[in-house]
A and B are shown apart, each in its own frame.
Chain A
Amino acid sequence: MESLSNRKKVVSNKKMTFMEKLYFPAILGGMWITFKHLFKKHNTVKYPEVKREFAPVYRGQHVLKRDEEGRENCTACGLCAVACPAEAITMTSEERKKGEEHLYREEKYAATYEINMLRCIFCGLCEEACPKEAIFLTDRLVPTYFERNDFIYGKDKLVEPVDQRVDISKRQLTGKRPA
């Protein structure tokens, strides 16, 4: 059968010719290749000073969004926890009391919401499952810690502060399937 890649090479155990046995032509050829590489542009990114740009659809640390009035979107429905293949998400829900309308958008809200960043595989299924547009993955990196407990992110780290909104437009506007 003809090979599709057109890169097929027939290997044979033929005896090496005298020139091949000398090794020197092959060695010089190899050295010429490495010599050419001396002057090629290097691909190194000097990390702490220079940071490579993430892909627009990069899936990093999660954020729990608030709406325009600063109320939390999450209603603790638990769909993200169900969708999560790594079982990284847990939460407890509570009923919104009188006078908390400016904090939570609907009657039910997540009292605690925890993502174990060691379990999380950053697949983005929670984002896909969420009916309230509450959880999104961002282009931020989860830093490293010395203790395992530190990787369990609560609402203090996940919910975006009112005055420091997290931009999610880049990932959300790129390559999204039409609704």
Chain B
Amino acid sequence: MIIKLIIVVALFAITLGIAAYLTLMERKVAAWMQDRIGPDRAGPFGLLQPLADGGKMFFKEDFRPTNADKWLFIIGPGIAMFTSLITGAVIPWAPAIQMATESIAIQVADVNIGILFIMGAVSIGVYGIMIGGWASNNKFALFGAIRASSQMISYELAMGVSVITIVMMTGSLSLNKIVDMQHGFWQDGWFSWNVFKQPICFVVFLITALAECNRAPFDLPECESELIGGYHTEYGAMKLGFFLFAEYVNMFISCAVISALFFGGYNFPGMDHFSGLTLTILGGLVFFAKTFFFIFVFMWIRWTLPRFRYDQLMHIGWKKMIPLALINLLITGVVIAYTEGWFSKNKDSESASNAKVEQPLGVNTSLEKTKTGNSL
């Protein structure tokens, strides 16, 4: 119980701390990509910049437009922040510590529907943006909210389908099981990480995750150039801070989910040589390294690509991502059914489990054929 409490508090603090420093990282990465230095005045290398920004947010006037709905206006950023923070609860951050009598999981809650929980929480996150945009009583905010809701709902479908593909391969919705399935790096003659078994699924998930986080090139809900910030146009002070913060927490969590689902979570090559606390610490570090790599990729994409037009966004979401994910799902299903021996007369379970190893290769090759054939 106490251990769980410690983990909860630590996760909360780490998530907020990382989100705060992601703002600095974002600005630094942006600066370097544009041949600039970036913030370097507050503290060495600008390391105190997030504190300065946060302090500024707290001391600003807590402004509320006259015609804004008071309670909804307050609830909006609250929901956004809340939903983004609770998603971290089900992610296994490191291998469990094996004690003599019990094993301590480095995870707030080992929910057996973990990935479903994350999808649900992310869906509720739309409400924060919608309520905030609606309550502001401002056309730009409303436009941003509408765009955000339509975009997130559209891309959630493709994201859900790509998650189902992974769930089908694992046979479980639990993130723990999904990560454990990708043990080590090389298993049974093929890479054990899901990205090597399901590359198309990974690409779909990455793109939809960008859209879910409202990151460029899918940052239509808050495009500064046309909507003046979109749903948070009317917000100021810490309420705006909550929206911006929730975004960075979302980015952190979705990068953690990407590395858990596709890049083996805390698994790393040669992890069998370690055990106990060393393994836990190393695994945790590896997991954070992977997460940060994807955060960097997110920023990299943001500072490279221009924003999609609204119709292009919908076109990609509905006409490309969803069919692609569905076909990938179908092929995965067929291959799994084949390797499980559903099509063979004599159901030899032994050969089925052996044949399952061949499945990833089968998925890859068959998918390439379909892809070119369907002119997606």
- Known A-B contacts A18-B375, A37-B32, A38-B32; A44 and B37 likewise in contact (beta carbons under 8 Å): yes
Interface positions, chain A 147-164, Cβ under 8 Å from B, are: none
With the chains together, A30 CA to B31 CA distance in Å?
17
* CB of B33 within 8 Å of the partner chain: yes
With the chains together, A40 CA to B372 CA distance in Å?
38
Segment at the A interface, from B72-80, B221-229, B296-304: B296-304
A37 touches B36 (CB 8 A): no
Chain A interface residue count: which class?
A: 10 to 19
Chain A residues near B301 (CB-CB < 8 A): 31
B300 touches A37 (CB 8 A): no
With the chains together, A18 CA to B29 CA distance in Å?
32
Chain A residues near B34 (CB-CB < 8 A): 37
CB of A140 to closest CB in B, whole Å = 26
* CB of A27 within 8 Å of the partner chain: yes
* CB of B188 within 8 Å of the partner chain: no
* CB of A42 within 8 Å of the partner chain: yes
Residue of B nearest to A39 (CB): B32
How would residues 20 to 54 of chain A score, 1 for a CB under 8 Å from any chain B CB and 0 otherwise? Answer: 00000001001101110110111110100000000
Chain A residues near B32 (CB-CB < 8 A): 37-38, 42
* CB of B368 within 8 Å of the partner chain: no
B305 touches A27 (CB 8 A): yes
B36 touches A35 (CB 8 A): no
A37 touches B305 (CB 8 A): no
* CB of B102 within 8 Å of the partner chain: no
B300 touches A43 (CB 8 A): no
Residue of A nearest to B302 (CB): A34
* CB of B272 within 8 Å of the partner chain: no
With the chains together, A43 CA to B37 CA distance in Å?
8
CB of A171 to closest CB in B, whole Å = 31
Chain B residues near A43 (CB-CB < 8 A): 35-36
Chain B residues near A42 (CB-CB < 8 A): 31-32, 35-37
With the chains together, A155 CA to B288 CA distance in Å?
66
Residue of B nearest to A24 (CB): B203
With the chains together, A30 CA to B306 CA distance in Å?
11
| A-B contacts, CB under 8 A, total | 34
Chain A residues near B33 (CB-CB < 8 A): 34, 37-38
B35 touches A30 (CB 8 A): no
Interface positions, chain B 109-138, Cβ under 8 Å from A, are: none
How would residues 22 to 36 of chain B score, 1 for a CB under 8 Å from any chain A CB and 0 otherwise? Answer: 000000010111111
Which listed residue (B31, B36, B37, B304) contacts A31, Cβ 8 A? B304
Chain B residues near A18 (CB-CB < 8 A): 372, 375
Interface positions, chain B 26-63, Cβ under 8 Å from A, are: 29, 31-37
Which listed residue (A30, A41, A46) contacts B305, Cβ 8 A? A30
Which listed residue (B35, B37, B372, B375) contacts A37, Cβ 8 A? B35
B300 touches A35 (CB 8 A): yes
CB of A35 to closest CB in B, whole Å = 7
CB of B370 to closest CB in A, whole Å = 14
Chain B residues near A44 (CB-CB < 8 A): 36-37
With the chains together, A30 CA to B375 CA distance in Å?
24
A34 touches B35 (CB 8 A): no
With the chains together, A41 CA to B375 CA distance in Å?
42
B304 touches A30 (CB 8 A): yes
Chain B residues near A33 (CB-CB < 8 A): 304
How would residues 126 to 154 of chain A score, 1 for a CB under 8 Å from any chain B CB and 0 otherwise? Answer: 00000000000000000000000000000
Q: Which 3 A-B pairs have the closest CB atoms?
A: A34-B304, A44-B37, A34-B33
CB<8 Å pairs between A and B, sample of 18: A27-B304, A30-B304, A30-B305, A31-B304, A33-B304, A34-B33, A34-B300, A34-B303, A34-B304, A37-B32, A37-B34, A37-B35, A38-B32, A41-B35, A42-B32, A42-B36, A42-B37, A44-B37
Supplied contacts A27-B305, A31-B304, A43-B36, 19 more A-B pairs, CB within 8 Å: A18-B375, A27-B304, A30-B304, A31-B300, A33-B304, A34-B300, A34-B303, A37-B32, A37-B34, A38-B29, A40-B35, A41-B35, A42-B31, A42-B32, A42-B35, A42-B37, A43-B35, A44-B37, A46-B37
